[in-house]
Structure 1
Amino acid sequence: MPHHPALRLAAPVAVLALTLSACGGSDDDTSTDSKKTTQPEATASPSKESSGGELATGESAAGKVKEEDGTVTYDITAAKVDLGTEAEAAKLVQDPADAKGMALAVAHVKFTHKAGPALTTESDAGDATTIWADGRRGALLIGASDDAPGCEDPYDVESFKTGDSHVFCESYLVPSNAKSLEVHWAEEDGEPYIWKFPSQ
């Protein structure tokens, strides 16, 4: 699906793209103000070739994406999830009540171009990334991770060819008291690959 850069500038705050009822929520934990990063130690591991399933820390999956320039095969690894605070989440939505009991989670996913054409337009590979908390999908926040440290904006990647790697991030609101976080990535109509992270 093509991107429309003009839409990214339409609002000064992130756009809440999914209903918050999809991920539950609680207002039990409002005391923390510091960001937590869930970053397991990366370990070298060959790519998993089968369609979907749970992957070990540091393990990559091979996935195909139909890009504008043609089908590209990527090695995909969820590197970490940054978990923010309720106060930070409230600043990202138009109505702070939408973020009550919620925190911003940013998934950092590394994509390495393994086969297929070099891209002359932005990659759609990151669009298949979702974040789940305690078994429920979070609420997508469009634009919230554009300037996050360590994240690259696909619009700024002018070429993406075999051997190149880029980190694309996706941001979701999840319950601030979630016990576990999962990063899911799936091919179109495929089963998701799943990386699990503790929430703190």
Structure 2
Amino acid sequence: MPHHKTAPRLAAPVAVLALVLTACGGGDEADAKSPASPEVSVSPSRAVSGGDLATGESATGKVAEGPGEVTYDVVAQKVEVGTEAEAAKAVADAADTEGRVPAVAHIRYTHRSGPALTEGSAVHHGTAVFADGQRGGVLIGAPDDAPGCEDPYDVRSWKQGDSHVFCETYLIPADATSVEVHWEEKDGEPYVWKYSRK
């Protein structure tokens, strides 16, 4: 499945200034920032169909991979929001980002069952960032290996129990009051983690 990138192209790497985002539905922010571990049996709960999820709550879904269907646990750990100045520096034409800021979603994916992968995964293709209910624009060329993130195209070997954190960078309105991370299986309903900006 292709990963659609529709926003302006990067001219320089994005430097993201983290702002505090509080997830709706409660939960401990520290839990969302803790390092990923192959042992995820301590996950608070797992949603079994699309819908709204609380902080730390994981979704479980299937993805058709090269060697066969793989079941993943997916959890949005946090979102870091940058500034308008950073957005302007990240593209060739600053006018393309007027009134918008970069939002970087950190999502942990854990291989729960299915064949081991040796050619990477398509699991991150189902991820998007929304602001105030509207889909943001993908920031083309944003570094996939920002601090705390792995480049999904560098992860080749992936077996049951392994977890990886991939990041998605989108441009959202600077005055947005809420940010959502969406992830969905092919032809499925999206799982949604909601954050409010305070």
User: Do they superpose with TM above 0.5?
Assistant: yes
- Equivalent of 2:129, from 128, 131, 156? 131
Let me know the Cα RMSD of the aligned residues.
Answer: 2.1
Tell me what 1:90 maps to.
Answer: 88
CA spacing shift, 1:93–1:16, aligned 2, 3 Å: farther
Tell me what 2:195 maps to.
Answer: 197
- Equivalent of 2:18, from 24, 27, 35? 35
- Aligned equivalents of 2:93, 2:78: Cα separation in 1: 28
Alignment check: 8 A CA contact 2:59 2:75 kept: yes
Unmatched runs of 5 consecutive residues or more in structure 2 = 9-15, 33-42
Deviations 1:119-173 (A, max 9, x none): 1112111111101101111001133132311110011113110000000111100
Aligned residue identity for 1:86: E
Q: Does 1:71 align with 2:69?
A: yes
1:16 positional shift: 5.8
Q: Describe the SS at the equivalent of 2:142.
A: coil
Alignment check: 8 A CA contact 1:122 1:158 kept: yes
Unmatched runs of 5 consecutive residues or more in structure 1 = 4-14, 20-32
1:18 positional shift: 4.5
Q: Does 1:149 align with 2:147?
A: yes
Tell me what 2:174 maps to.
Answer: 176
Tell me what 2:105 maps to.
Answer: 107
Aligned residue identity for 1:132: F
Q: Provide runs of 4+ in structure 1 moved above 3 Å.
A: none
Normalising by structure 2, we get a TM-score of 0.81
Identity of aligned residues (%): 57
- Aligned equivalents of 1:135, 1:54: Cα separation in 2: 13
Normalising by structure 1, we get a TM-score of 0.81
Q: How many residue pairs end up in the alignment? A: 175
Tell me what 1:12 maps to.
Answer: none
Q: Describe the SS at the equivalent of 1:117.
A: coil
- Aligned equivalents of 1:176, 1:127: Cα separation in 2: 25
Tell me what 1:46 maps to.
Answer: 45
- Aligned equivalents of 2:5, 2:45: Cα separation in 1: 36
